[in-house]
Amino acid sequence: MFFRWIERNPFFMAAWISLVIAVAGLIEIVPDFAKAARPVEGLKPYTVLELAGKEVYKKDNCIACHSQLIRPFKSETDRYGDFSVSGEYAYDRPFLWGSKRTGPDLHRVGRYRTTVWHEAHMWNPPAVVPGSIMPAYRHMWKNAADIETAYAEAVTVKNAFHTPYGPGIRKGKEAWEKYKPTVLAQARKVAEEMKGTEGVSKEEVLKMIDSGKVPEIVALIAYLNRLK
């Protein structure tokens, strides 16, 4: 019998196991790969500031409690807006759908929450939504977002995956130094809409930006505003 034989021939056993487990992946994943990667019309890649904000979202792992995937049910579209479609995620590397909604879905949070709302909420969630069990993220006012790494990511996806970034996004230190003021200007625009909190004033935030550093909170809000 085949199985009695294979039990005595480890090499063939290993080969056979590999084959059996590979089948599903090949048949399920490969066929639709190219199609699923196409962006919806008009989709713009994330700005460098937004990418830096996405890194903050990843670093503090908001995915532990938040999804970014609105399912096609009326109860979901009523609550969060249009259901999500594949092409909207074309520039999401990695995807951030999440698997647990301890907090609400955020895929379209930019439609109904504003910079000041986020500012107050991230500083102290239960003050804005009584009973909230979301942690406050006050360190985001102190830590600087890593905008250089965000830029490096933009360069990488532009070159490797043809993500449509403009000519300003290029390899090397020099190109980055030239581009950096653009990022700081974007950050300043967000920060100007902020009001300041009891712990950190608006002026302090602006001062940090003027010194060439973007507080994590500013980048994060830029990212959240972009989710529409």
Partner 1 sequence: MQSNAALEYDYSLAKKFTFLTILFGFLGMLIGTLLAAQLAFPSLNYLLGEYGTFSRLRPLHTNIVIFGFTVSGIFATWFYIGQRVLKVSLKESKFLMTVGNIQFWLYFVGALLAVVSLLMGITESKEYAQFEWPFDIVVVIIWVLWGLNIMGLIGIRREKALYISVWYYLACFLGISMLYLFNNMALPTYFTSGGLGSFFHSVSMYSGTNDALVQWWYGHNAVAFGFTVPIVGMIYYFLPKESGQPVYSYKLSLLSFWGLLFVYLWAGSHHLMWSTVPDWMQTMGSVFSVLLILPSWGSAINMLLTMKGEWQQLTENPLIKFMILASTFYMLSTIEGPIQAVRSVNAIAHFTDWIIGHVHDGVLGWVVFMIMSAIYHMTPRMFKREIYSKKLIETQFWLQTTAVVLYFTSMWIAGITQGMMWRAVDEYGNLMYSFIDTVNALHPYYVIRTIAAIMYLAGFMMFMYNIYKTVTAGREIEEEPQFRTPIAA
Shortest reach from residue 227's CB to partner 1, in Å: 14
Residues of span 98-157 touching partner 1 by CB under 8 A? 98-104, 126, 129-137, 139, 143, 146, 148-153, 155-157
b/e string for 152-182 if b means 16 or more Cβ within 10 A? Answer: ebbbebbeeeebebeeebbeeeeebeebeee
- Per CB under 6 A, 60 contacts ligand HEC: yes
Q: Which residues contact 12 (CB under 8 A, 6 or more apart)?
A: 6
Q: Which is nearer to ligand HEC, 62 or 155 (CB)?
A: 62
- Per CB under 6 A, 129 contacts ligand HEC: yes
Q: Which is nearer to ligand HEC, 6 or 60 (CB)?
A: 60
Residues of span 186-225 touching ligand HEC by CB under 6 A? 220, 224
Output the six-digit token pair for 43. Answer: 């989709």
- The C-alpha atoms of residue 110 and residue 225 are separated, in whole angstroms, by 4
- Per CB under 8 A, 165 contacts partner 1: no
Classify 215 as helix, strand or coil: strand
For the CA atoms of 23, 38, 48, 120, the dihedral, rounded to the nearest 10 degrees, stands at: -90
- The C-alpha atoms of residue 120 and residue 45 are separated, in whole angstroms, by 28
- Per CB under 6 A, 108 contacts ligand HEC: no
Q: Tell me which residues touch ligand HEC (CB under 6 A).
A: 57, 60, 62, 64-66, 102-104, 106, 109, 113, 118, 125, 129, 132-135, 137, 220, 224
